[in-house]
């Protein structure tokens, strides 16, 4: 399911990763408290297999880390928001999985997209 397995900064922890075009996602941490790291670009062109694969993961994903994400568009924001909600529910959390590490431009995109959605509602 996941391509290569390599060691992260911590020698005792394996990080599993897979690429989907310009997006690379990695899993880190133990199965009961896993973080999904996104790196590169998440836009309308992302492979639909990405979301299906994340939804099928057996790990209890409690956070989505965007610190290495360089670009996101409205489709990407919608996807991350939906995944966070679904993963939080599946993990038994009372709220969506945390979305962390967004840089200034990524955070502004989230604000703009969410603001537009609130205006339309």
What does the pLDDT read at residue 60? 94
pLDDT in tens, 29-79: 998 899 999 999 999 999 889 999 999 999 999 999 999 999 999 999 999
Q: What is the dihedral of CA 73, 24, 49, 76, to 10 degrees?
A: -10
Other Cβ atoms within 10 Å of 4 Cβ, number: 9
Helices (H), 1-121: 48-56, 74-90, 104-120
pLDDT at 120 over 70: no
Tell me if 29 sits within 8 A of 15, measured CB to CB. Answer: no
The pTM assigned to this predicted structure is 0.83
Q: What is the DSSP pairing of strand 34-42 with strand 98-100? A: unpaired
What does the pLDDT read at residue 121? 35
Mean pLDDT computed over 12-18 = 66
- Residue indicated by tokens 């922890």: 13
Q: Cα(68)–Cα(70) distance, rounded to whole angstroms?
A: 6
CATH topology for 5-120?
A: Transcription Regulator spoIIAA (3.30.750)
């Amino acid at each position: 399911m996941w391509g290569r397995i390599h060691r992260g900064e911590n020698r005792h922890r394996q990080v599993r990763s897979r690429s989907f075009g310009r997006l690379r996602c990695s899993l880190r941490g133990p199965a009961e408290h896993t973080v999904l790291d996104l790196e590169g670009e998440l836009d309308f062109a992302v492979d639909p297999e990405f979301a299906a694969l994340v939804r099928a993961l057996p790990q209890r994903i409690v956070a989505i880390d965007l610190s290495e994400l360089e670009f996101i568009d409205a489709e990407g924001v919608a996807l991350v928001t939906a995944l966070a909600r679904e993963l939080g529910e599946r993990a038994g959390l009372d709220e969506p999985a945390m979305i962390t590490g967004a840089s200034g431009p990524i955070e502004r995109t989230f604000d703009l997209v969410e603001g537009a959605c609130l205006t339309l509602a």
